Every structure is written in C-alpha cells, then in structure tokens.
Amino acid sequence: MNPYLALFLGLVFAGGGGELFVRGTVGLAQAARISPGIIAATVAAFATSSPELTVAVSAALDGAPQISLGDALGSNVVNVALILGLALLLAPITASRGSIKRDFPTAVIVQVALAALLLDGNLSRIEAVLLLAALFVWLLAVTHEARSQRSAVVAVLGEGKPYRAVIESLVGLALLIAAGKLIVSGGAEIAKTYGFTEFAIGATLVAIGTSMPELATVLISRLRGHDEVGLGTVLGSNIFNGLFIVGTAAAITPYSIAFSDVAPALLVGLAAVVATYPPRSEQIDRWRGGLLLALYGAYVLAVLQI
C-alpha cells in the first residue's frame, strides 16, 4: 500500500475508533460502578498500548530492540507532550483527585526508574522482571481502590447497557489498532528514505503511529466532557509503556544502547509529566499546552539531531 495512503486511512480509522472507544469505556465504568478514571488508567490504557506491545514483541524477536525501546519511550513523550498539549489548546483539563494521587506520581516514578536502569546503557532480563513486578504491584493497588468504589454511583455518558459498551469498546479498539499499524507502516517507510536510525524512527514516527489510540481517545473525551477518561488513558498508557512494554521486550531481548541516545526521550518524558502536574485547583490550564508542545518540538530536534 502507498505509504501516504496508509497514513490517511490511519487518521480516518483513528477518528471513528476513538469515538466508539470513549463511549464504550465510559459505559463500562458505569456498568461496573467504578470511576471512569480507573477504567481509563487500567483497561483502556492497556488496550490503547496494544500497538506498542505488538511493535515491542515483533522488534525484540527480530533482534532489533532499539525500535521497541524508542517506540515505548517516544510514545510516553507523545502521550503527554504532544497529545495532552493539543488537548489543552482546546480547553483546560480538570484532573480527578484519584488521578492526582495515583497516576501522576506513578508516571513520574516510572520515568525516573527507567533513567536509572538505562544509565549504564543496558537493560537486563533481571531488570525487566523488576519492571514487570512493579506493574503488578501498581495493578494490585488500583484494583483495591476499584473495589472500594463498587458501591458508588457514577453519573456518566451511556444508558447502562454493558453489552453495548463492550461492543463499542471492541470495535473502537480494533479501529484504533488498525490505525496505529497503518500509520506505523506508512511512517516508517517514509522515514527510512531519509536515513534515520532505528531508535530515531521508533521514537518519533512509530511512536506517533502507535499513540494514535491515545490521541483519538484524549481529543474525543475532551470534546465529550470526559477529561478523566482522556487523562487516565494517557497516564496509564505511560505506566504500561514504561513497565510492561519495556519490561516485556527486554525479557525477550535485553537492551544495549548508549544512554545519550535515550536521554532526550527520558528527560523530556519526565519534564512533560512534571509540567502537566495539576495545581490544588485540579485544573490544568491552557498555557501548559503551549509549554508541552514546545517540549515536544525540542524533543524531536534532539532525537533526529537536526
């Protein structure tokens, strides 16, 4: 398929899939009597990270883990600096109390932990197991919180029909995954013609392609007035990328890469989360959107060494 056609179809699929996925996610939260933020940070985040998982496993099995590492770290930058930056330009985002206490601190810790582990230029299988164990502990904590909310009634979009929410979620996710694959295939083919490295391709174009589910989810949830879904999906996806995606790929094929190559993604990823951290008012103002986009621009220039 023509790479430019693949990019166009990917954008079309992302728009339609994002609409269905947001509706389905909120509907599932209502049916389960759990806040949409928790559903978004766990189920939705894991689902939207499936393109990164596909790339990570495929690249690791092919002996090219740099692509998967670049994709995972680059997606974390894209999720916050680019996606939340664009969403904030539309309107301020209100963060839930649960997200501030649970997801933001964890996203910061994950970035710091990855930087510490990659400082020597290697990520072993033992370190990969530690990352996967950390994800398990986080999921246990979130599950405990979810159980405490079971008796709460959450007023959200939808008619309380679980089967409809499941269908919308699955169809939307399928379209989002297809969108990610189309954009990855088209973007990577175009990028190779300019002679960029595997890590640079993974950290920029492939990262944008595999982050299309998050982009569509955040923008549409913002338009629908469900900030907790978009914010939870982005932060949860960052946590899954840093712990599960990187950990899984490293367990298959350990990483060996110069820290100077991954430093821009790690530092900008951390700076973006910190720059987005909500104040006491719990409202993330629009001016931060411009700051985040500036960070993303600096990141692209650093990774591509322009």
As assigned by CATH, the class of the 3-304 domain is mainly alpha
Q: Which residue has the tokens 């999720």?
A: 79
Which regions in the chain score pLDDT beneath 70?
7, 11, 14-15, 18-19, 22-23, 25-26, 28-37, 39-41, 44, 47-48, 50-51, 54-55, 59, 62-65, 146-161, 176, 180, 183-188, 190-192, 194-198, 202, 210, 306
pTM: 0.76
Query: 25, 17, 70, 52: which is closest to 240 by C-alpha?
Result: 52
Domain ranges of the chain: 3-304
> What pLDDT digit, counting tens, does each position of 88-125 carry?
888 888 887 777 888 889 999 999 999 999 998 888 99
At residue 233, the pLDDT reads 82
Write the burial class of residue 103 (CB in 10 Å: 0-12 exposed, 13-18 middle, 19+ buried): buried
Q: Determine which helix (DSSP H) or strand (DSSP E) holds 122, and give its type and residue range.
A: strand 122-123
Amino acid, single-letter form, for residue 7: L
Q: Which residues contact 268 (CB under 8 A, 6 or more apart)?
A: 77, 81, 295, 296, 298, 299, 302
SS3 at position 265: helix
At residue 33, the pLDDT reads 65
